[in-house]
Structure 1
């Protein structure tokens, strides 16, 4: 395939206190989220100076990818600058006619996959006839380099625990919770839906096997919305209470559902979950996300090579993948349909 560039497409995040409210309003536009919910989320961002680390982490990934592929690499976001519409317009001005798109999510589902297709289609429509053809790369939850990076992060985190509890620490994987109805719609009905939660569970299984963990848990974080709406459970903090009741002395928490640290990771895990573990007297270690690992950029180059050089895909798991789209056309008409979604900051 003849390709002129690579576009790294992400969620976006504020880079200063004055950015937080307009960023959140972009995230929830058209969803009817009450202002008091935004107030609560805004406080999380302002706790960290109004800066999400996400854009900085993405720029680091881009710099590493540029060292590995002989293509211009562009950066665009869904909800904050650089906005994807502006980036695609820049690409058109630069003469890019066809580009690959790496979306910074390993999984299927609406917010994790299909909404990036919508972003691509919206950006191309905004640019018009001069918009380049955009081909989104596939999911990578079971790519061996993604698994290896997460596995080494788990090993490193375990070593930070006191020796007395290290071997008995429970391995707990986390990912962003979504409404159960949205998860049921995440995937073609012929495959039984639930693509998002199934792929998260598969990634966790592969990482656990890589580190030799006989047992592990998959839990969820960052839920929002009215309590009467069912979301994927258990929540990480509630799960710590359960483990404490079973006499578990320590945990290694691995945010396998996230590519890079951002406010939800550092608030929900490094702040709330860690504080709860301290209250319970449990040892707590949080594994790093995979994005900063050099193998992550190697993986992006490999995913691009599947299109550039017809390289064979490398996949470890048995769970169906997906994610490759052209110009924002979803991989299946009835795949990962949107559900009514409350605020998801990142």
Structure 2
């Protein structure tokens, strides 16, 4: 892999790299984007168009890239307030700007020592190790055999950081204020296969993905004086025979209505911004379920560019920039054995 060991005590970083999932920005992008996401699965184009209907409902444009631009702007503003002049780079895994292209440009500019921030906050294969694998693959693609390689200083998983929790608490408080008193708070995150949850986090600590969500929800509720809450899941995919985390948010809304609950706040704590899983699965599909059931519903905002969240990210960036050893495990991460790849356990990933 195109990396270089470095333990120089005061060596400055060459920039900060935001790595995200990516999303289509126009209708013609939808199928190529989904082809990238499902690479190797040999899914027919007609099926990809069917899967892409969620995007076509919104003009073929995912909000995620615009939200990343907004996040980069907020981070740059916080950098300026702290006297930092670090260049900000951005590369996506599945749509432009693509990570390999970003690293190619970085290498041409002599930028090799990079702090890495991802837009996934929780430990799991899909939210942690898959990004580390993408970095390793993109770095290897840039290996021309000349000069030193990349040195990645990851900031680690940050969902338990005070700023992320506070940002979600701020959002839930605003949502609660918009509905009748006594609304039930339902925290929502992306469902994953139960086997992936079992393999999340450090070896010997199965179920870290769900455990972290429970802890974030508990801390948000403690800040707000909310006595009880639920955790539900959205965006399930995969064959029906494969166990995924439950309950689905729509099934859970049905159960709440049967229990006599009349008002809910859906809080998407599993997401850092309002991308497709939020605007379709919650704002569209779950709201339709609530309307059918006669439930009053408010959806709280994601952390987005809440100042508390941005400050937390920049705190993490500063700490990563000060690390001497790129192989040092960042906070909130279990190291190379964390968040196992169950299909390809030997696939290369950065620290």
Q: Same fold (TM over 0.5)?
A: yes
Q: Deviations over 1:279-333 (max 9, x none)?
A: 11111000001013122221111001212347xxxxxxxxx96338xxxxxx133
Question: Paired residue for 1:117?
Answer: 132
1:333 and 2:347 are equivalent in the alignment: no
Moved over 6 A (4+): none
Matched-pair contact (CA < 8 Å) for 1:108–1:336: no
Matched-pair contact (CA < 8 Å) for 2:203–2:337: no
Question: Paired residue for 1:343?
Answer: none
Matches within 5 A, 1:224-263: 224-263=237-276
Question: Paired residue for 2:155?
Answer: 137
Q: Which runs of 5+ in 2 are unaligned?
A: 1-9, 324-329, 345-351
The separation in 2 between residues aligned to 1:31 and 1:259, in whole angstroms, is 28
Matched-pair contact (CA < 8 Å) for 1:237–1:276: yes
Question: Paired residue for 1:178?
Answer: 192
**Greater shift after overlay, 261-270 or 198-207?**
198-207
In 2 relative to 1, CA 335–268 (structure 1 residues): closer, same or farther, beyond 3 Å?
Answer: closer
1:19 to 3, 23, 29: 29
Question: Paired residue for 1:57?
Answer: 67
Matched-pair contact (CA < 8 Å) for 1:182–1:339: no
Q: Which runs of 5+ in 1 are unaligned?
A: 311-319, 325-330, 341-346
Question: Paired residue for 1:316?
Answer: none
Alpha-carbon deviation of 1:49? 0.1
Q: CA RMSD in A?
A: 1.9
Q: Deviations over 1:82-131 (max 9, x none)?
A: 00001011111111130100011111111100011011101110111554
1:154 and 2:172 are equivalent in the alignment: yes
1:216 and 2:229 are equivalent in the alignment: yes
**Greater shift after overlay, 180-189 or 256-265?**
180-189
Number of equivalences = 320
SS of 2:17's partner is strand
2:209 to 196, 204, 216: 196
In 2 relative to 1, CA 339–175 (structure 1 residues): closer, same or farther, beyond 3 Å?
Answer: farther
Matched-pair contact (CA < 8 Å) for 1:181–1:339: no
SS of 1:173's partner is strand
The separation in 1 between residues aligned to 2:338 and 2:28, in whole angstroms, is 39
Question: Paired residue for 1:327?
Answer: none
Question: Paired residue for 1:344?
Answer: none
In 2 relative to 1, CA 76–334 (structure 1 residues): closer, same or farther, beyond 3 Å?
Answer: closer
**Greater shift after overlay, 129-138 or 41-50?**
129-138
In 2 relative to 1, CA 187–33 (structure 1 residues): closer, same or farther, beyond 3 Å?
Answer: farther
2:39 to 29, 32, 47: 29
SS of 1:189's partner is coil
**Greater shift after overlay, 286-295 or 72-81?**
286-295
